[in-house]
A and B are shown apart, each in its own frame.
Chain A
Amino acid sequence: MKITKGVKVLIVEDDKNICEMYAITFMRRGFTVYTASDGRSAIQKFQNKKPDIVLLDIMMPQVDGYQVLNEIRKDTKFYTPVIMLTNLDANDFTRESQLENIDAYLIKSNHSPREVVDRTMDVLKKNNIDVGELE
């Protein structure tokens, strides 16, 4: 199932294998994919490419996911959905971040790349972002 409209997704992930895995899956489904392997470049890419949705890892060197999220949320005019992708459990990271700030929270190891894309589609629909016809 492919989407017809060019929806832009920013995948922020420091593990190259995982990043590539998600990138492949999203591209197969017709998304325009941008990737960032650390927080700083993520913020840059977010500002330059203006993605429709962000998949955000938490544990990253130097600038972590929380800081990236804060940066994204600084833009109060335009709301960008964020899906937290992590291998930390909810209990571990709700201490620092509030779940209300994000649109979904997925444990990477519990979901196959395909399921991750399916959840991303759900979030897009919820935020009324047009993905076009499904083929």
Chain B
Amino acid sequence: MSKISRLRRSNRSDSLFLVKRSKKVWADYRYLVEMAHDGITMVDAKDNLIFVNGQFARGLGYKVNDLIGRSLFSLATKESALRIAQEMERRKKGKKSRYEVILIHRNGTEKHFSLSASPMRDESYEFVGSVAVYSDITKRKALEWERTKKMKQMNALNKIHGIARISVLLSSVLNDVAKETVQALSATRGLQCRLVYDGKVYSHPRRLGTFFSATTASLVIDGVDRGVIEVGYNKQSSILANIDSFKEVRDFVSNVAKILRRHLYAREISVRYREMVKNSFSSIAITRSNKIIYANSRFYKMYRCKESQAIGHDIQIFLRYRNIGASGKTKIFEGQGKRMNGDVFDLAMVTQHIHYNGSPAVLVRINDTTALKKAQSRVFGSNSLLRKVVKEKTFHLEQANRRLRSLNRSKDEFIAITSHELRSPLTSIRGYLSFLVEEDSINQISEPYREYLMRAYSTTDSLNYLISNILDVSRLEMGRFELQKQEVDVMKLIRAILDSLSFQADEAKLQLEFENNIGCEHFMLEIDSIRMSQVLRNVLDNSIKFTKKGKKIKVTISCDSKWFTVAVSDQGVGIPKTKLNQVFDKFIQVRNTQTRYKGGVGLGLFISKRIVELHNGIIEAKKNEGGGITISMHLPLHH
């Protein structure tokens, strides 16, 4: 106002044109001031507003007239009012000032302004007030604040990253993370964080209240749910209505959880492998150009040395022989190791090429095999002893075997020759006796000599039969009993035998019955006819021997799809059931009160059984209902 009056005063004597022109200039200025984007104010020396433009008034929600005459302090926040007063003092000294203030909008919100003010002076250079230009920087400020917040969080995350170091104790890491998380979000009061890991709780603050509006993120490490991170407020707060803030917390917690998960996973893996290596029963060392660059605790224990005695030293000093090769492949060898105290021990060593800290190295695994070696040598020792013993025994056995074989051969020959030698005189006796028992000569001999002669003749028969049996048995036992099989009519064979035995049966006053259940008169089988005749004769002889006068012996033949069967059933003295199977044993004659010694050795049935078996047949003895036994021979129809 004073500026304009001064202008008017200086041009008082000018022409009307000039007056008009000055009015035009005035109008132009006024237009410029009104249309400016910035607020423009003029205050007096006491900071009362003497002029405001429309922009300034609108920016604070007032009309221009509402503000004229008002003190600038009444529009500012406490801190800004202080600043305004300070700045006016500077202007009084003639300095321009440029600063930021917070003014209060009519609706109570805070508005940030950046202002530059210049002092106004009258002709006497007296400070009369200031003119100031206000730029509204509220939006920028908000953005700036947002950015600062973000930066803070980023810093916090970064810090958490830094905290999460494997070298730091897990509990301090987790406590620090909880603390840092709360501090990063400190803009919102009453925040608390709880971390649960493997059942242990880490929190900030130490004492936790009830969680309201909690944000949680689970800590799943290597597929296993190990815990949870939880951030929330300790009381119900209106600030929670602020969705932005809630989102901010959530994002932040999820980021922290991400970092934590990564850290815990790395820690898990690291700990796992460290434990493995540390607790390994094998000594593990890593070498580069044969120099040890790492060794596990087992290595020090095995070699009774300190870390300083191993790291940086040649691994060869730990081996008795220089034998660590550097071939391209995995190498396994056994050798001997040398402990620091000079002791030597057996070891098995595996070397492999690996990468360690980015350059090639050799992984060496060493096992102490002293105990194993000892056990091995013990086993080997007892093994060789055993082998020696076995060799000796085998030698003895072989000798014994040879002796036995030769004895057997001698026995064989002995029996054959003896039989032959026995048979020669027997042949003579039998032959000459036969001359005497022939009809024309026997008639010339009177009783009882005739009877004696007959007995002598039949006894030579028995003797001959016995010799044949002994020969057969010896042959059977040596496996030198060969069958000569031919297609033979069995019916004819059986009849022939029965015919030849009829005399003997008559003499013993026995009935000999034949029953044919086959229904035809001929039956062809592939058998050794001489041997099968022998069998039948033996069986029948046996029956005749053990059956009393007047009793019956029945021969039955039958056949099914597989077997041809001859059954010889007698009414003899029979034998106890338990001894039935023994009738086919060598030299067995079952005795009981009713039997007398019947002569002959029990070879007949033994030979019979073996012959039937050589025919792939079966021979069996059964007790009859009415006394006596039945011996059945089954011969296979097909071979």
User: Which residues of A are at the interface with B, using a C-beta cutoff of 8 A?
Assistant: 15, 17-18, 21-22, 24, 59, 86-89, 91-92, 107-110, 112-114
Q: Is B623 an interface residue (CB 8 A)?
A: no
A86 to B438, CA, bound (A): 23
Interface string of B408-428 (1 = CB under 8 A from A): 000000001001100111111
Main secondary structure of the interface of B (DSSP, over half): helix
B471 touches A89 (CB 8 A): yes
B428 touches A87 (CB 8 A): no
Q: A17-B431, A21-B435 are in contact. List 7 more A-B contacts (CB 8 A).
A: A15-B424, A21-B427, A88-B416, A88-B420, A91-B475, A112-B434, A113-B435
A112 to B464, CA, bound (A): 12
Which chain B residues numbered 429 to 480 have a C-beta less than 8 Å away from chain A?
A: 430-432, 434-435, 438, 464, 467-468, 471, 475, 480
Q: Is B482 an interface residue (CB 8 A)?
A: yes
Partner of B424, one of A24, A87, A92: A87
A112 touches B416 (CB 8 A): no
Partner of A18, one of B420, B427, B434: B427
Report the minimum CB–CB distance from A103 to chain B (whole Å): 17
B475's nearest neighbour on chain A, judged by CB, is A91
Q: Is B481 an interface residue (CB 8 A)?
A: yes
A112 to B435, CA, bound (A): 9
A86 to B471, CA, bound (A): 14
Contacts A109-B464, A110-B464: A21 and B428 contacting too (C-beta < 8 A)? yes
A113 to B420, CA, bound (A): 18
A16's nearest neighbour on chain B, judged by CB, is B428
A91 touches B480 (CB 8 A): yes
Q: Which B residues are CB-close (under 8 A) to A88?
A: 416, 420
Q: Which A residues are CB-close (under 8 A) to B438?
A: 114
A91 to B534, CA, bound (A): 15
Q: Which B residues are CB-close (under 8 A) to A92?
A: 416
A94's nearest neighbour on chain B, judged by CB, is B482
A112 to B457, CA, bound (A): 11
Report the minimum CB–CB distance from B503 to chain A (whole Å): 15
A17 to B425, CA, bound (A): 8
A22 to B467, CA, bound (A): 22
B468 touches A18 (CB 8 A): no
Most buried by B among A22, A86, A89: A89
A43 to B480, CA, bound (A): 32
Which 5 pairs show the lowest CB-CB distances between chains A and B?
A87-B423, A112-B434, A17-B428, A109-B423, A21-B431
A114 to B437, CA, bound (A): 12
Contacts A59-B420, A89-B471, A92-B416: A109 and B434 contacting too (C-beta < 8 A)? no
Report the minimum CB–CB distance from B415 to chain A (whole Å): 10
Report the minimum CB–CB distance from A87 to chain B (whole Å): 4
B437's nearest neighbour on chain A, judged by CB, is A112
B481 touches A91 (CB 8 A): yes
A22 to B95, CA, bound (A): 176
Q: Which A residues are CB-close (under 8 A) to B464?
A: 109-110
A112 touches B419 (CB 8 A): no
A59's nearest neighbour on chain B, judged by CB, is B420
A114 touches B434 (CB 8 A): yes
Q: Which B residues are CB-close (under 8 A) to A108?
A: 423-424, 427
Most buried by B among A15, A107, A113: A113
Report the minimum CB–CB distance from A31 to chain B (whole Å): 16
Q: List 18 A-B contacts (CB under 8 A).
A: A15-B424, A18-B427, A21-B431, A21-B432, A22-B431, A59-B420, A86-B420, A87-B419, A87-B423, A87-B424, A87-B427, A89-B419, A91-B482, A109-B427, A109-B467, A112-B431, A112-B434, A113-B435
B434 touches A15 (CB 8 A): no
Most buried by B among A17, A24, A112: A112
A19's nearest neighbour on chain B, judged by CB, is B428
A113 touches B431 (CB 8 A): yes
A88 to B545, CA, bound (A): 28
B482's nearest neighbour on chain A, judged by CB, is A91
A71 to B62, CA, bound (A): 163
A15 touches B428 (CB 8 A): yes
Report the minimum CB–CB distance from B377 to chain A (whole Å): 56
A22 to B432, CA, bound (A): 10
Q: Which A residues are CB-close (under 8 A) to B419?
A: 87, 89
Report the minimum CB–CB distance from B396 to chain A (whole Å): 32
A114 to B439, CA, bound (A): 12
Q: Which A residues are CB-close (under 8 A) to B431?
A: 17-18, 21-22, 112-113
